[in-house]
Structure 1
Amino acid sequence: MATHGAGSSIGARSGTGAGAGTGATRRAFLQSCVAVTTAAAAACRRDDPAWPGREVRVIVHAAPGGISDTVARFTARGLNGLLGVPVLCENRVGAMGAVAFSAVKHAAADGYVIGYAPVELAVIPHLRYVDLSADDFDLLARHHRAPAALAVPAASPYRTLQEFVTAARGGARIAMGSAGPLSVWHLGILALGRQLGRSFVFAPFPGSGPATTALLGGHIDAVMAAVPEVQALVRGGAVRLLGIMGDGPSPIFPDVPTFRDVGLDLHFEAWGG
């Protein structure tokens, strides 16, 4: 996204996740990077043919290590080669993205400040604690979609999604972490608790990267994040992926069940661009 007036809205669609491990999904991810960088450059150059004459900043609302930061840095790398000027990512964490979005909103509408726009951009205006709206920005391209995933440490007593669900329904005290309050992953935790008729102990973090670090350190029992955010840890054996909140199996981990497979009608998906 860019400050309103810096370019026109351009749509681009991609695959189901960022940083995918299979050849097909990785190709789709790289193709979406090309689409986003081309769309962003075209939008800004249409208003100013001389753009860019200096470095461009990409403001990211989340801490390093999560899907938002990863996608933003891939896109910045593509823009760097396409534009021939430095394109730098700047993490501004806080208030569920409002800090970053406000920085983009109040930047000059000249195409030199671009923001990564997550699904939370659609939620923040309804919270009424900050003067922000999607109408404040030109949305350049949608980059990816990724369903929520429930992961636990490899040493967790919960070996399957059904075991986790049974324990939760039985009153087990389970501490779950995710990106901060009312992030899309926190909403997934709340929705899961509602369907199970119980509440989890919620531990908020600046992003999914810090949340998974806490999971590895034994500070929380489970984490809700995007599949690509835990992919390397799952493949390395440090984390066990219990379930996916998608319409169907993940192309990265096709043997992992969906929540609908255990009778829970849950579908939570993040998008960004």
Structure 2
Amino acid sequence: MKKVTLLSAAVSATALFAATFSAPTLAQGTFPQREVTIVVPFNPGGASDMTARIIAKGMEADLGKPVVVVNKPGGSGGVGMSSVARSTPDGYMLTYVPVELVMHKALKLSDLQPETFDFIGQTTVVPAALTVPVDAPYNTIAEFIKYAQANPGKVRVGNSGAGSIWHIAASALEQNQKVTFNHIPFEGAAPAVTALMGKHIEAVTVNAGEVKAGVDAGKLKILAIMTPERDPAFPKVPTAIESGVKIEFAGWGGFAAPKGTPKPVLDRLSASLKKAASSEEFKTFIASRGMVVHYRSSEEFKKFANDQYVFFNNLLSKMELGK
């Protein structure tokens, strides 16, 4: 009996030692112990980058540790997201996840899909806007379509990467109106907009916030917003539907961690993200950039992403994306 008692005590002591020295890395009250990195899978300056940076600022204030943003563009978001998917699932390496995540597998860009990650939360909806140079020979989406019909294959439409939401938005518009565009991929929306301002392409279908600086500078004009409602940041710009083109497209964005991240860590990150996304600073920032705040919790975002995965896989199976 004495030996059993001593053995039990030894086992209990070992368990207590393990709990004492492993729990702090998972406990909600002690995470994080060091800097947290958010990878943005696109170039600086686009909607994804801008969203991640303002969220990082809010989360840093809440977590009490530095939250830094690193840009890793390439492969329509695949390079950056894949690098995070392969990282240690401890909550210190996160990624911004755009709508493109749910399209990668269908487009054979990568094996990325919703089940690759543990979701932290969704933060935004990102409306698309058909935008052209200010001196372009068309002032409405109807006039733009008429020009494209008269010049098949000559209208170069920039996007944020082959298979990106903005590529699909332009392709959907192309098929909807029976026109032919010349799709020009860039590593993110920002370089596509730069090319538009330099008149190296004729149009983009990126987010309104990503062209705002060009519009404010008098170099670009938005012909239509591709959502059911007008953009509050551009109240005079009609929707495509208002203009007789029955199409709507919007991106979305949120944040995720590598699969297998401990739940207490995910809970802590999710709570911090919600706080950052609920701040007046974030709401004002997002509204001024032509986006819409739309928060979903970890579980809500997981369900939404899986639903979007099914939706876009069905949609893409019926589409032939223009090259």
User: With structure 1 as the length reference, what TM-score do the two structures score?
Assistant: 0.80
Kept in 2, the 8 Å contact 1:209–1:229? The answer is yes
Equivalence for 2:84? 104
CA distance, structure 1, for counterparts of residue 250 and residue 25 of structure 2 = 32
2:178 maps to 1:197:
yes
**Gap runs ≥5 in structure 2:** 1-23, 255-323
d(CA) in 2 for partners of 1:107, 1:243: 41
1:193 partner SS: helix
* Whole-angstrom distance in 2 between the partners of 1:45 and 1:62: 30
- Aligned AA for 2:126? A
1:256 aligned to 237, 250, 257, which one?
237
* Residue deviations 1:177-202 (CA, integer Å, cap 9, x gap): 01000100000110111012122111
Deviations 1:211-249 (A, max 9, x none): 111111111111111011112221221111101110121
- Residue in structure 2 matched with residue 89 of structure 1 by the alignment: 69
* 1:211 pairs with 2:192: yes
Ranges in structure 1 where 5+ consecutive residues have no aligned partner: 1-43
What is the CA deviation profile of residues 55-76 of structure 1, one whole-angstrom value per residue up to 9, with x for unaligned ones?
1110111111110000011111
Partner secondary structure for residue 265 of structure 1: coil
Is 1:153 the equivalent of 2:133?
Answer: yes
Choose from 82, 86, 93 the match for 1:113: 93
* Equivalent-residue separation in structure 1 for 2:92 and 2:230 (angstroms): 39
Q: Which residue of 1 aligns with 2:42?
A: 62
Which residue does the alignment assign to 1:270?
251
One-letter code aligned to 2:46? G
Once residues 147 and 95 of structure 2 are traced to their aligned partners in structure 1, the CA distance between those partners, rounded to angstroms, is 41
Instruction: Give the alignment of 1:215-226 within 5 angstroms.
Output: 215-226=196-207
Q: Deviations over 1:19-53 (max 9, x none)?
A: xxxxxxxxxxxxxxxxxxxxxxxxx9875532111
Structure number with larger C-alpha Rg: 2
Distance 1:185 1:90 in 2: 22
Count of aligned pairs: 230
Q: Greater CA deviation, 129-138 or 204-213?
A: 129-138
Correspondence for 1:182: 163
Which residue, out of 216, 219, 222, partners 1:235? 216
Superposed displacement of residue 129, structure 1: 4.7
The range that moved more, 87-96 or 152-161, is 152-161
CA contact (8 A) 1:178 1:224 kept: yes
Q: Which amino acid aligns with 1:227?
A: A
1:13 paired residue number? none
Aligned pairs (5 A) from 1:29-40 = none
CA distance in 2, matches of 1:130, 1:206: 16
Look up the equivalent residue of 1:244 and give its one-letter code.
I
Cα shift at 1:161: 1.9
1:123 corresponds to which of 88, 103, 108: 103
State how far apart, in whole Å, the 1-side matches of 2:207 and 2:45 are: 12
Secondary structure of the structure 2 residue equivalent to 1:50:
coil
Q: How much does 1:263 deviate?
A: 2.2
- Name the structure with the higher helix share: 2
Q: CA deviation at 1:159?
A: 2.0
Distance change >3 Å, CA 232–CA 45, structure 1 → 2: farther
CA contact (8 A) 1:168 1:196 kept: no
Deviates more, 1:136-145 or 1:256-265: 256-265
RMSD value, Cα:
1.7
Distance 2:226 2:137 in 1: 21
Matched residues in 2 for 1:113 and 1:268: separation? 30
Identity %: 39
Which residue of structure 1 aligns with residue 124 of structure 2? 144
